[in-house]
Amino acid sequence: MSAQPPSQSPAPRVGIVGATGAVGGELLLCLEQRRFPLSSLRLFASPRSAGRSLLFRDEPVKVEALTEAALAGLDIVLFSAGSATSRQFAPAAMRHGAVVVDNSSAFRMDADVPLVVPEVNPAAITAHRGLIANPNCVAIVAAVPLWPLHRVNPICRIIAATYQAASGAGAAAMEELRESTEAYLEGRDYPARVLAHPYAFNLFSHDTAVDPLTGYNDEETKVIREMRKIMGEPELRIGVTCIRVPVLRAHSIALTVEFADPITPEAVRALLAAAPGVRLVDDVAHNHFPMPREASGQDDILVGRIRRDVSDPSGRSVAMFVAGDQLLKGAALNAVQIAERLVG
């Protein structure tokens, strides 16, 4: 890793690694829709995707095969192509003078790599040494609404259950959900290819390896460790169960949160109503609360079902339900927001 953070020009030269994937496509859209002030854009993918063209600002941009040499001449490179690719090519981009914003898990827990959610810990960006990590999607979706509460009344414990969409496993998993649902409705067999279990009309534990000592799978362990790092609370008590559900995009989370001092649902609503990146969807009269269908395509994290946790007589615990677009705020949008901070 480079010892000094490279300086950025007002209109940087930007690259996207993994441009043809689900998150890569969203990165392109975010850069375009947010009018990111770039001077040039280059797109990279595997050799089998090289030569394709993708539209950006109504102009075709040819996809290049990813090599170390090809990453020269860039100021910011957004990586979204998996941990192995990031570990192999991010150091090369940095050696060429670029700042890397990496969406994989490869560097997130490295002590000298900032793990950033701009609504939570934007100051961490200034400590980068050429590399900034984009957190796990669940950690982002949870941290955005929890942070404004934690700042006022410190959080002591979080219990979470996730409802994770196909988008979290990439474009191939989204297509498997579409195809397997069609097959199920037509009475046809559809063997699972991308995920470990049949997806249509089913849900199952996030199919990452389970630690035999703790009983937690890799996804759950990531969420715990990353939430602690993002919030600057290394001893924060967190328990989480991660479940894959047959939803195309947008993750949802049921949260029960214990605070240091008593807190009311009304106080929580007031704090979240003024919080950046959050939108209250908490209509009790019409039983209208956050849904992945409504969160899809939205920049904000939807928060609702805010109520006192009746199992805690101390009045210090509140339950809520949140939903956020995994491809946007859970991945591409968060990375672009980090890049926006880099260019000021």
Residues labelled as active-site residues: 137, 251
Task: Give alpha helix (H) positions in the chain.
Answer: 22-33, 83-95, 137-152, 171-185, 218-231, 265-273, 292-295, 333-343
Which residue has 């100051």 as its token pair? Answer: 123
Q: Using alpha carbons, list the distances in angstroms from residue 306 to 154, 311, 312.
A: 18, 15, 15
Tokens of 166: 């196909």
How far is Cα 310 from Cα 232, in angstroms, rounded to an integer?
29
Q: Do the beta carbons of residue 318 and residue 307 sit within 8 Å?
A: yes
CA angle 97, 334, 153 (to 5 degrees): 120
Residues contacting 82, CB < 8 A, separation 6+: 18, 104
How many residues appear in the chain? Answer: 344
